[in-house]
Each structure stands twice: as C-alpha cells, then as structure tokens.
A and B are shown apart, each in its own frame.
Chain A
Amino acid sequence: MDCDVKIRARNIDFYYRRSRALKNISLDVLKKRVTALIGPSGCGKSTFIRLFNRMNDLIPGARVEGQILLDGFDIYHPKTDVVSLRRRVGMVFQKPNPFPKSIFDNLAYGLTITDVRDKEFIEHKVIDSLKKAALYNEVKDRLHDNALMLSGGQQQRLCIARCLAVEPEVILFDEPAASLDPISTRKIEELLLELKNEYTIVIVTHNMQQAARVSDYTAFMYLGELVEYGDTERIFTVPKEKMTEEYLSGKFG
C-alpha cells in the first residue's frame, strides 16, 4: 500500500504570523486517486492544500512545521527546487485566473518559460491540453482572442488546460467550481473523473454532493484539525466521528 502514496503530510503545523491555522495534520494522498478536503469555511483547507506546492511561501510571516513528502522526498528541504516542485504539482484556483493574454499564449506560457522553442510542439501541446480540458471545440476558432473574453466556466477550464500543458503529476483544485453555474460545474466534475486516470488529484470543495460524486477519499477538517479521513463512501455512510456526521447532515458549518 505504501508504494501508492503520492504525497505524505506528517505532523503539519502551520502559523500565519500569530495564529495557528493547522494543528498536527497527518494525511496520505494516494496516487491516481481523487482526494477531497471538506470542512466549514476557515478551517484551513486552502492553507493545507497550498502547502503541497509551496504557494504559502508567498505569505510573509507564515511558518510551517512538520514534513511533506512527495514520492518520499521532503518538499520543504532547503535544497528543494521550488520551481520544479511546482511543475510537478499543478494548481487550479478558486477564481479563474487566466492571464490577460490570448488563449493560445495562456496555454503556451508554461512551456515557453522552460525555453521550449519548438513551435510545432507547443501548438500540439496547446491543442492537446485544450482537448483534455474539454474546451477545444468551444474555442478552436479563436485561439488568439483574449482569454478574459471567455465565460467564467470556460476560463476555469482554460486554467485547467493551462495546468495540464505543463504535465504535472499532481493537480490541486481549490474550490474550482465555487464561482461557476451548475452546468459549468458539471463539466468540471466530468473532467475531474477523466483526469483521475492519469493524475493524482486533491480537491477542496464546499459541495458535499460534489465530494461524494468525484472523490475516492475524503478528509474532513475542522478548526485546523483533521477530524476524519477515509474512503469517501464510508465517510458519507458511516462516519466514525460524531462531528463529521453532524457536518454532513448540515447541523453546522
């Protein structure tokens, strides 16, 4: 079983300046599975998921204790190359954040920053990623239009495609459908189910049904602590903790 662990968090504590946002969290993310993080607002889901690609490095005064291993290697080791870490662990944010460039340039960005010059390869990769993100048919005639002209749902799929173009091993989704309508949300969910054959996925969501539909494993967090973690089906049917049960049945949160 251990060989299937992609990311292992060990005894993670996290502090924003003064306040402690994560308390002693240990959790294994399994390879080529979808892991969902649920919990009430402010419980630290975003904080936790952003540790996996070290996005929290950008926050002044933040501090992390404990260990996160990616394929057994410590990503917070001083010698870790953050840039190559982020190429292996991609991220899709809550609000779609395409660059104010053309659709094509948005997708090519991840390649050109590594000095890939081969035009044909880039074009192939762009189209391929757009197809994987189920966006190609909608935008194939206007690849050189500004990406900000797309609808919110299309923008989000663009961001997913942009992430795929880099060929990450893990993709982190922080409430990817939070700002989208039900139809766009469905499309993203279908996409997630497709992607899990190839990628390890961690997703934060507020939508219980969504977690139940797309994820294999679910972690329930509360006030910076990991309350319960296990098989999605089991968590949703026979939760061990009383708190989990109350949250899932809508008693708080």
Chain B
Amino acid sequence: MRHFRETIYKWIFSVLAFASLLFLTGIILTLFVESYPFFVRHDISESIFGLYWYPTYDPPEFGMLTLITASFVVTLGAMVVCIPIGVGTALFLQELASASQRAVLKPLIEILAGIPSIIFGFFGMIVVAPFLQRLLGIPTGLNAFTASLVLGIMATPTVASLAEDAVSFVPRSFREASLALGANRWQTLTRVVVPAAGSGISTAIILGIGRAVGETMVVLMVAGGAAVIPHSIFDPVRPMTATIAAEMGEAVMGSGHYGALFAIGLILFFITLAINIVAEIISRRFRLKLGLGR
C-alpha cells in the first residue's frame, strides 16, 4: 500500500514535469512551424542580408539586415554605458562602500533591477529624449543613441548585482595575501580580485547583453522606429524586438509578413540562446578557476 502511494506520487510529478517541458519545447516548435512557410518561400540569406524591410508593399520585401543591425547597434551602445557603470558600481560596493552602505545599496540595486521595462521606455520617451534633443540640437530625441542610453541604464543594476556576486565569491585569502605583500587596495583589486572574478564578471556582462538584445518596450518607444540602416548614432532605428511588437497587430495570419515576424522571433531566440550558453560555459570555468572544482 505504501509502495503504491509512492509510485503514484512519482507519476504525478513526472506528468506535471512533462507538461511543463512540453510547454517550453512548444515555444521552439511554434517558432519553427510558424516561420516555416516564410523560409520556404523566401531565400534565407537574402532575407537576413536584405537591406529593405517593406512588409506591406506589393510585392513585399523582407530584408532583415536593417533590423539586425539596429539591434546590434543599440545593444553595443547599451554595453558602452552599462559595462563600466555596472562593473564600477560592483567594485565600489565591494571595495569602498562601508558595511552599512553595502547592506543598503546591494538590495537596493537588486530591487532596481526589477523596475519594469515599460517604466524605462516611458521615462526615456518623456524625459530623456526631449532633454537630449534640446541639449544636442538634433531633429529627434527618439534615436539609437537615446535607446542605447536608456537600455544601458536599465541593464546596469543587473550587471552590477551579478558582478558584485562574482567579486564577493573571490576568497578573502586572495585579498589578504596581496595586502600582506604590500600591495595597496587598488592594486589588490585590479590585479588579484578582478582577474580572479574575471569570468564571473564576464558572465554578468553577457547576461546584461542578453537582457539588452531581448528588450522590447524601451526600443519600441525610444529608438524611433525607422527601418533603415543608420548613418549616425543619432538616427532613428528599428531593432528586431520593436519590429515584432509594432507589426504583429497588423500582420495577417498566414501571410508572408506574419511568417517573417516569427522568423525574426526565431533569430532572436537563437541569439539569446547562444548568449546564455556562452555565459554558462564561462561561469563554469569561473568555478574551476577559483579552485572550487579542485
């Protein structure tokens, strides 16, 4: 009887587990199934490297290079903002903040990492964009630069918090050894602590990149929305995520446009998957390097 009950429980759990796995694999399947007709009718490399995104023209054109470039440019810009600030903040917390400051700032940063992206989009649109437009005298504040800036700030708490975790995992004995050899705190930080936490910090940065690539609302509201290759960082752009969000409502189900949007979704999926795998590999090396694996 008892044995029977145990078996029942085991089965219940395997069924539920299987159900959730089904949903999760369903995502990948759906992306493939829905974009399949598109890939049948259009040449893959022509779409990916095509320059013109005119989904509603007759005949439509589905060149995604502009969108991919836009995602790339905006993400790169965001990294320029959030890597130094995020990692700098993490090191500040670790090295300069007093115990009581850290006790306040660390959770604060984690909480700020939870601010919804719509708030950043809203803030960027209504405060940052007009401000930059006036400050720089540019025709529109809604452009790649503003989007990068806002996106970078949005990713900063994530990067800072993860990097701080990585740095705090560095055994205290490393720091003590360095200080005991007569290194000052800055030397200890830059030559011992940061290299030791290097792969952990890289993981933090890569996950920050993942967050920026996949972010929708900020770029939808702030990047300006023009599907052309930008000539300067102050040109409006339309990243992949924004394209899906803006056009899904109008795309007719089963049309080439509809399939193209799912194809973009698929590309996004693979990009973020690759990013996550790289982060995973690096963070595993991190644990080995600190001698936790020996």
Contact = CB atoms under 8 A, between A and B. Distances in A.
So, do A and B actually touch in the complex, CB under 8 Å? yes
B94 interface: no
A66 interface: no
B173 A163 contact: no
Interface in A90-105: 90-91, 93, 95, 97-101
Contacts, number: 73
A86 B196 contact: no
B77 to A, nearest CB: 33
B12 interface: no
B291 A58 contact: no
| Most chain B beta carbons < 10 A, residue from A87, A100, A162, A166 | A100
A98 B290 CA distance: 10
Contacts of B184: 83, 113
Contact of A97 (B98, B99, B177, B289): B177
Interface of B: 98-99, 171, 173-184, 187, 191-192, 195-196, 289-291, 294
A109 interface: yes
Given A110-B182, A149-B294, 5 more contacts: A86-B182, A99-B174, A99-B177, A99-B192, A113-B178
Nearest to A96: B173
A124 B191 CA distance: 22
Given A99-B196, A100-B291, A148-B291, A113 B187 contact: yes
A100 B99 contact: no
A170 to B, nearest CB: 12
Contact of B173 (A90, A97, A149): A97
What band does the interface of chain A fall in when counting residues whose beta carbon is under 8 Å from B?
Answer: 20 to 34
A95 B273 CA distance: 40
A159 interface: yes
Nearest to B197: A100
A90 B180 contact: yes
B289 A91 contact: no
A19 interface: no
Interface in A60-113: 60, 83-84, 86-87, 90-91, 93, 95, 97-101, 109-110, 112-113
